């Protein structure tokens, strides 16, 4: 942990949460837990379920707490150093598969924006997957991510997606992977992205799905998709569809994605609360290739029969 102990001891600055789908602040308790992964607070946190089906963190970290809940060792800032070579290869493999899924939406010269582009790893995979030239750009706020993405030759819009000014009707493809669940007002973010799409452009969203088998098994406390206290909103397939349509977009496709990480993190969280912290970190870890491989096979089966804990939705402007 990179934080000083006295910082962790202090109460986390919070604000009230609200349902992303209807704006209601009322909801029944859905799940409770800690920051199992990074230990940035000792406070227990609660997800509530709105009568309309939306699930939201309440209370949630206030803007003043953002630097604390995303510590400098947060994994998406620096994949190459955190993940070993085998896991990096696995990640590159899944990202190449992702890059191929974008193909129907990419003509030569298409302008592509990856929001939360980290160190530019997905932009690199897209650039390598297509023989024709593309204009590849990212949105990123971490200094490390901005520097790495610029060094790789891609343009970066610096800042958080809630703050950056996006050009109007500019992009053929916008990618929003594992990010919509982190923002305070998902509908506002989607409306702004919608305005940045060309009339025939498309938006790809990936976000956790609370309707999966592992989400149900570990629902009360340990599910990896909670990522407490960094996920402010969670959706099932219908909720994500409603959100997108309410932001003035039209859903084109929706499908489950293989997600072995949430199974592993769920068990890891369960073990950590039972005092097996070191074993959990070393062995039951999403960075352990010996575990990642068999759980991925199970997830491929899971995906054939049910919604997995990760969903992808494709939308276009109305």
Residues that bind Zn ion (CB under 5 A): 19, 21-22, 24, 50, 52, 54
**Cβ 21 to Zn ion, closest distance in Å?**
5
User: DSSP code of 123?
Assistant: H
Give the residue with the Cβ less far from Zn ion, 136 or 244.
244
Cβ closest to Zn ion, residue 56 vs residue 154? 56
Contact 156, 139 (CB under 8 A): yes
Q: Measured from the CB of residue 17, what is the shortest distance to Zn ion in angstroms?
A: 11
Least CB distance to Zn ion at residue 24 (A):
5
Of 304, 311, 267, residue with least CA distance to 285: 267
* Residue 289, burial from CB neighbour count under 10 angstroms (0-12, 13-18, 19+): middle
Q: Please, which residue, 52 or 83, has the CB nearer to Zn ion?
A: 52
User: 22 or 276: whose CB is closer to Zn ion?
Assistant: 22
Q: Is 52 in contact with 24 (CB distance < 8 Å)?
A: yes
Instruction: List 251's β-bridge partners, or say none.
Output: 315
Output 12 or 210, the one with its CB closest to Zn ion: 210
Measure CA 101 to chain center.
18
CB of residue 242 to Zn ion, shortest distance in Å: 9
Dist. CA 215–CA 81, nearest whole Å: 29
Q: How far is the CB of 210 from Zn ion (least distance, A)?
A: 14
Kindly state the smallest distance separating residue 221's Cβ from Zn ion, in Å.
Answer: 23
Q: Of 99 and 240, which has the nearer Cβ to Zn ion? A: 240
Round to whole Å and give the CA distance between 317 and 248: 7
Closest alpha carbon to 261 in 219, 210, 206, 224: 224
Residue by residue, DSSP assigns 193-262 as HHHHEEEEEEEEEEEEBTTSHHHHHTTTTT-GGGTTTT--EEB-HHHHHHHHHHTTEEEEEEEEE--HHH
């Amino acid at each position: 942990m990179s934080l000083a102990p006295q910082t962790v001891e202090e109460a986390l600055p919070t604000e009230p949460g609200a349902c992303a789908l209807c704006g209601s602040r009322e909801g029944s308790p859905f799940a409770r837990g800690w920051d199992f992964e990074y230990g940035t607070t000792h406070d227990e946190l609660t997800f509530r379920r709105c009568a309309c089906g939306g699930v939201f963190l309440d209370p949630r970290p206030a803007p003043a707490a953002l630097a604390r809940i995303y510590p400098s060792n947060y994994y998406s800032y620096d994949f190459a150093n955190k993940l070993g070579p085998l896991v990096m290869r696995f990640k590159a493999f899944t990202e190449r598969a992702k890059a191929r899924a974008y193909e129907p939406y990419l003509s030569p010269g298409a302008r592509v924006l990856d929001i939360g582009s980290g160190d530019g790893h997905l932009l690199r995979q897209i650039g390598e997957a297509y023989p024709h030239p593309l204009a590849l750009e990212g949105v990123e706020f971490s200094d490390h991510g901005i520097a790495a993405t610029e060094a790789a030759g891609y343009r970066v819009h610096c800042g958080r997606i809630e703050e950056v000014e996006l050009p109007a009707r500019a992009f053929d493809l916008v990618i929003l992977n594992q990010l919509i669940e982190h923002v305070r007002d998902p509908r506002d973010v989607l409306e702004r992205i919608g305005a940045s799409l060309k009339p025939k452009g498309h938006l790809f969203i990936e976000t956790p799905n609370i309707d999966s088998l592992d989400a149900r098994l570990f629902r009360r406390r340990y599910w990896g998709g909670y990522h407490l206290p960094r996920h402010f909103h969670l959706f099932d397939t219908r909720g994500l569809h409603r959100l997108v349509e309410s932001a003035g977009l039209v859903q084109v496709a929706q499908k489950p994605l293989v997600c072995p990480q949430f199974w592993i993190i769920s068990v890891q969280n369960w073990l950590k609360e039972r005092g097996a912290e070191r074993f959990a970190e070393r062995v039951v870890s999403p960075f352990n290739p010996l575990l990642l491989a068999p759980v991925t096979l199970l997830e491929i089966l899971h995906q054939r029969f049910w919604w997995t804990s990760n969903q992808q939705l494709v939308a276009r402007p109305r």
